[in-house]
Structure 1
Amino acid sequence: MKLLIIEDSEALRRSVVVGLNNLGFTIDEAGDGATGLSMALLNQYDLLILDLMLPNVDGMDILRALRKQNLETKVIILSAKNLTKDKIDGLMDGADDYLTKPFSFEELHARILALLRRGKTSQVNNSLEIDGFTLDLETKSFSYQGQIIDLTRNEFKIIECLFLAQGRVVNAEKISEAVMGNFDHLSKNTIESHLSSVRKKARQCGGDLPIKNKRGFGYIIEKSHLC
């Protein structure tokens, strides 16, 4: 597994690099935001450990740049910023986890393993087609009969979670984990709001989103809709 750590504290950066190297990870490192962003865009990493307060380019700007390019590299924010708002902003802008300083190396290692395990689900096909809808797992796009439906990141994550589980009920907790990771929570009302938005966008393209709400259980793409 290849990881990138972007951290301006040389002592902390070296400590994490040595520790992860000893555990068998291949680690690249950067001490400033500009260098780190360039490395993240030019190379393929399984996971990125990202400080927020960096010289040259801020960590949040790095995160937004990666997600704007549709790069799905797992990102753990490692920051001294410990306010709830900071954590929410980081997660909503595309981070998969958020760990505040000071931290234990054992906890960092556990969070890395948890994220990498979630990323091991592989698909034989890069796209799923259901009732005229196509979910492309490689380009992270969603369309109906060739018409692109522009989704936000969270909307796409919810649709991806449900399409991958087609024919099975997925409860709100599983959807929340797929979108926000283990650290934060996506409420049922928020999930329903996102799905309502996707349904509206689908109808504008002439499609009827094949996702049903099984009250008290969760959401499902019913088998009658499967191709």
Structure 2
Amino acid sequence: MRILIVEDEEYLAEALTQILKKQNYSVDAVHDGVTGLDYAQSGIYDLLLLDIMMPGLDGIGLLRTLRQQGVATPAIFLTAKGDTSDMVAGLDYGADDYIAKPFSTEELLARIRAALRRKGEVVPEDGLRFGDIELNTANLRLSCQGKEMKLNLKENELLELLIMRKQGVTSKEQIIEKLWGFDSEVEYNNVEVYISFLRKKLTFLGSSVRITTIRGVGYVLEVTS
């Protein structure tokens, strides 16, 4: 899952980035509302963490614009302000939650999981399952019928994306945007390499799950008989 942090205190943005990456989230961080709006409009993010108090375009203005444009990405406000009017305004403009600074790592992660659940995502606390495989995104392990092997981070993110798509076709463009970011210069052959890695690992585990290529469209997970 990919999270966008919009926070003008760069040290805090970096700390949040490291916390979330340790939980195997993909993270982008920007430090002003205008850039944050540009990133959020891409539609590749599963969650937004927005500071309320920012110069120029603040978090409330950013979210108001997104909601007016029909962007429904879950959003959590980060605020140091005690004025409940700002928090109420944020919720009125479509925020899913707010968390007051300072906050604990455990509280932040719990609120993120709750916001994703409200969106309808399967939040993988104890593993994602598809066919005869189980993917534990916390420790990057793929298991099948008692056999288990370690994935690297990009393999984990790619398989998670394919599982979350629920047998929908996922294009190479969507994979690049979700795994590397919408402004990435990563080429299609990078996707093909990681698809190949995953196919070999599924075969090694003896899984009935296959990654099928839909020519000219993308990839889909299927269970073979």
- Alignment match, 1:151: 151
Residues 48-67 of structure 1 correspond to what in structure 2 (within 5 A)? 48=17, 63=18, 67=21
- 1:166 match: 166
1:108 to 2:111 alignment: no
The CA deviation at 1:74 is 2.8
Partner of 2:166: helix, strand, or coil? coil
* CA-based RMSD: 3.6
Shift of the 201–167 alpha-carbon distance from structure 1 to 2, 3 Å rule, reads: closer
- Corresponding residue SS for 2:143: strand
8 Å CA contact retained: 2:211, 2:219: yes
What is the CA–CA distance in structure 2 between the aligned matches of 1:157 and 1:186, rounded to whole Å?
15
* Alpha-carbon separation, structure 2, partners of 1:106 and 1:169: 33
Deviations 1:116-148 (A, max 9, x none): 238855435634322311124565543222433
Q: Equivalents in 1 of 2:157, 2:203: separation in Å? A: 19
Which 5+ residue runs of structure 2 have no aligned equivalent? Answer: 49-72, 76-115
Change (3 A) 1:5 1:144: farther
TM-score normalized by the length of structure 2: 0.52
List per-residue Cα deviations over 1:97-118 (Å, max 9, x = no partner). Answer: xxxxxxx741234325754238
**Mean Cα deviation higher: 181-190 or 151-160:** 181-190
- Gap change, CA 1:186 and 1:161, over 3 Å in 2: farther
Give the 3-state SS of the residue equivalent to 2:184 in structure 1.
coil
Matching residue's letter, 1:106: V
- Judged with a 3 Å threshold, the aligned counterparts in structure 2 of structure 1 residues 150 and 122 are, in CA distance, closer, same or farther, namely farther
The alignment covers a number of residue pairs equal to: 150
Within the candidate set 6, 10, 25, 1:7 is matched to: 10
- The two structures have a TM-score, normalised by structure 1, of 0.51
Partner of 1:183: 183
Structure 1 gap segments, 5+ residues each: 9-28, 31-35, 41-47, 49-62, 79-103
